[in-house]
Amino acid sequence: MDKLKNKKCGSCKQVKSLSNFAMERQKKDGYSYYCRSCKNKKDVEYRSTEIGYMKARYHKMYRKQKATKRLLTFEEFMAAWEKHKSIYGMKSAWGPGVHNLEQHKPITMICSGKGEAKRIESNLSIDRLDSSKDYMVQNIIFIRVDENSRKKDTSYKDCKIHIKLHEERFGK
C-alpha cells in the first residue's frame, strides 16, 4: 500500500484512493478517518435520529435566512420543540387548535439522504408566525413541509386582513 495515495477506511476497512476521503487539516495525515461513502452513511444515520434531525433543521433555518446573528440558541430551539411535543405530540401545530388534535396532521422526521434533496411533505418544518420578524422563541412554530409551502406567500398582515373580512361577513 502506497501511503501517499491510499488509505484504509476506519469504518468499512477497505483500502481506497485518497480521492475517496475528505480533506481534514486537523488529522495527522490531512484526510478524514472515514471514506466519503461511509461518512455519508453515518451522516444519514445521525440525521435520522431526533437530535440529528433537529440540529439539521436548526442550521438550515439560519442558512435560509442568511442571518448574521442568531437570536435563538439550539438549547432554546430544543426547549421550544419539547414544549410543542408536550402539547401536540408528533402533530403539526397548524390546525384548529389543541382541543381538536385529531384534525392536526402527523409530523415525520425522515432523512432522505445526503443534502436532503428529496422533499418529504409530512416532514417537520420550522416556520415563523410573522415572516417580517426573525427566528426567535415567540415567533417559531413547528408544522409540516406541505403546510409551510402552502402558506409561505401569505404575510401576517394579509392574514389579519382575511380575518377582519371573515369576521365582518360572518360575525364573531
pLDDT in tens, 93-139: 988 888 888 989 999 998 876 655 578 899 999 988 887 788 889 98
pLDDT in tens, 46-57: 988 999 999 999
Q: Is 102 helix (H, G, I), strand (E, B) or coil?
A: helix
Q: Is 91 helix (H, G, I), strand (E, B) or coil?
A: strand
Give the pLDDT band (50/70/90) at residue 2. very low
Neighbour count for residue 148 (Cβ, 10 Å): 19
Same domain, 142 and 121: yes
Same domain, 80 and 155: yes
Neighbour count for residue 154 (Cβ, 10 Å): 11
Number of structural domains in the chain: 2
pTM of the model: 0.75
**Alpha carbon separation from 47 to 31, 55, 134 (Å, rounded):** 23, 8, 25
pLDDT at 83 over 80: yes
Same domain, 15 and 33: yes
Residues whose CB falls within 8 Å of the CB of residue 9, separated by 6 or more in sequence, listed in order: 15, 16, 20, 21, 33, 34, 35, 38
Same domain, 31 and 53: no
Same domain, 29 and 52: no
- Please name the amino acid found at residue 12: C
Same domain, 90 and 15: no
Same domain, 100 and 19: no
- Please name the amino acid found at residue 30: G
Same domain, 97 and 52: yes
* Residue-level pLDDT at 100: 86
User: CA 137 to CA 159: how far, in whole Å?
Assistant: 21
Same domain, 59 and 121: yes
User: CA 144 to CA 38: how far, in whole Å?
Assistant: 30
Range of the domain at 65: 48-166
